[in-house]
Chain A
Amino acid sequence: EDQVTQSPEALRLQEGESSSLNCSYTVSGLRGLFWYRQDPGKGPEFLFTLYSAGEEKEKERLKATLTKKESFLHITAPKPEDSATYLCAVLSGGYQKVTFGTGTKLQVIP
């Protein structure tokens, strides 16, 4: 059974204080790993897809990396508007099977 574990569950940062969110996974036949951002009361918003170990992608203050067992979402000099829950998910199997983690709730304080 595919499993995705995100840590920490919650993270509080001062504005400008860089940090990383972790997503560790156990899956048979990884086809892709996704990062989403979710604001309260809204649907998940797509950020990145990573396909193979060693791959990196960046978007503004966010950088996602992938190894064979985990992915990191690095947040550089965060701003209050980066406050949200960040979800990790893995795609595996012969159909569109996506397994989600429970998320990391990030709060960035001015």
Chain B
Amino acid sequence: DAGITQSPRHKVTETGTPVTLRCHQTENHRYMYWYRQDPGHGLRLIHYSYGVKDTDKGEVSDGYSVSRSKTEDFLLTLESATSSQTSVYFCAISEPKGLTDTQYFGPGTRLTVL
């Protein structure tokens, strides 16, 4: 257990509605990530953060923004949700120490956009 929680765990929303997902960690890890998981695509990186207020885009960042104002919280925002953003979203953390770059995942948020 890497001390990662995600909220909400489930959400149903309508197209065009803004949505914010929260990832909270308790162990002061420097790196945090947001992934989405869809059948046939595996896990794909949306955005990641390498410190407070330091973020960068992943491979599927269009339509998403992130913020990290505190070490422990990493927020993912869908400014105007679309049906193509229906997915399971996972937060992950890592703390690279030499060769140890392992990412640990949270429990996920299932988002449905109607």
**Contact indicator per residue, chain A 35-79, by CB within 8 Å of chain B (1) or not (0):** 010000111111001010000000000000000000000000000
Q: Does B99 contact A (CB under 8 A)?
A: yes
Which stretch from B13-21, B65-73, B74-82, B101-109 is at the chain A interface?
Answer: B101-109
Classify chain A: how many residues form its interface, as a range: 20 to 34
Main DSSP-derived SS at the A contact region: strand
Classify chain B: how many residues form its interface, as a range: 20 to 34
Main DSSP-derived SS at the B contact region: strand
Tell whether A98 pairs with B103 under 8 Å between CB atoms, given A43-B90, A44-B43.
yes
A-B contacts counted at CB < 8 A amount to: 55
Interface residues of A (CB under 8 A from B): 4, 31-32, 34, 36, 41-46, 49, 51, 87, 89, 91, 95-98, 100-103
Interface residues of B (CB under 8 A from A): 31, 33, 40-45, 48, 50, 56, 90, 94, 96, 99-108
